[in-house]
Each structure stands twice: as structure tokens, then as C-alpha cells.
Structure 1
Amino acid sequence: MENAQNTVPAGSSLASAVERLDNALGALESRVKALQVKAGELPADSLDLVDAAEAARLKAEIEALKSREKLLEEASRGAFEALGIAAKDIRQILSEQAA
């Protein structure tokens, strides 16, 4: 049975990955700003722990999304090349049948 992700065009998956990456970056920026606002309320050591843990989590998520984006780009290039070859083969077969 086909996976639902296999039925979505590669461009849509890539756009979705880029959107998730943008959202993660936005969340990171928002979190950093919120922590900067609260910096006066938190002890310095707890701020470092919260900030470092959240930043590490978001960094890992961003890296995973970047990796997925690269895989999707490679897959879309491969699919495009395969479609080009298939189109060429079809044109050749049609011209041979017409002759």
C-alpha cells in the first residue's frame, strides 16, 4: 500500500519542510526574546539551563529539517531527471511507431 507522503508532489513536501524550518526559527527567536524579557526575573544559572536546553532542542529540530530538505531536493532532482528520460523514450517510441 502506498504511503500518503509518496502521493504528494516533491515540491509540496519541500515547501512544507521549508515552512516547518521557518516556523522553528520563528519559535526560536520568540523564545529567545521571551527569555531576554524575563532575564531579570530568573537566576542566571536557571536562565542558562532553560536557554541552552531549548536552543539545543530547536537546533536539533532545525538540523533535522535541513537534512530532510536536502533529501527532498535530491529526490526531486532525481525524479525530474527520470521524467525527462521517460519523456525522451516515449517520444522515441512514438516516432518509431509513426515511421
Structure 2
Amino acid sequence: MAFYAYLLLCNDGSYYAGHTDNLGERMAQHQSGAMGGYTAKRLPVRLQWSEEFPTRDEAFDAERRIKGWSRAKKQALIAGDWGLISKLARNRQG
């Protein structure tokens, strides 16, 4: 079984990070408002990025890590710009 970390762009321009074992079903839940909470108030949402992980723990760890990232770093992840992600991480460390 595969697990996924994902990043959504909400209608208000904010990002939402999550994880799941069924990305298609989770997207349908977000779009319908069935998830409640943050995304239900910011519909519609669009999937911007996802990555498959072998375990739920790894997907959850990725979600938690991404939630702590700046907007610029999330946008670099979406663009697949690992050089910029690394640069932004170094800048944050001082």
C-alpha cells in the first residue's frame, strides 16, 4: 500500500499540506467540503504537489515538515526547484 503527502492551493491563495493512503478519494473529500476545517472554508482547492511514500509515517513526516515551510519554500517544492529549497533552508538557519 502506498501513502501520499500532498499540497493543495486553496481558493484564498493559501496552501494546505496533508497525507493520505488514497489521494483520489481525499481530493474528492476536500472538494466536497466533507473534510471540514481549513479547506472547507476555502473551496475550491487544487492539488499542486504530491509524493508517494512507502509508509504512513514517512508521508506524515513529510506533511509535518512541509507545514512548517515558508510560502516561498512551498512554491519551490511545487516547481521542483531543489536548489531553491536548499537555499531557502540555509537562509532560515541564518
Flag the structure with higher strand content: 2
Which structure has the greater CA radius of gyration?
1
Query: Whose relative contact order is higher, 1 or 2, with alpha carbons under 8 Å and at least 6 apart?
Result: 1
Do they superpose with TM above 0.5? Answer: no
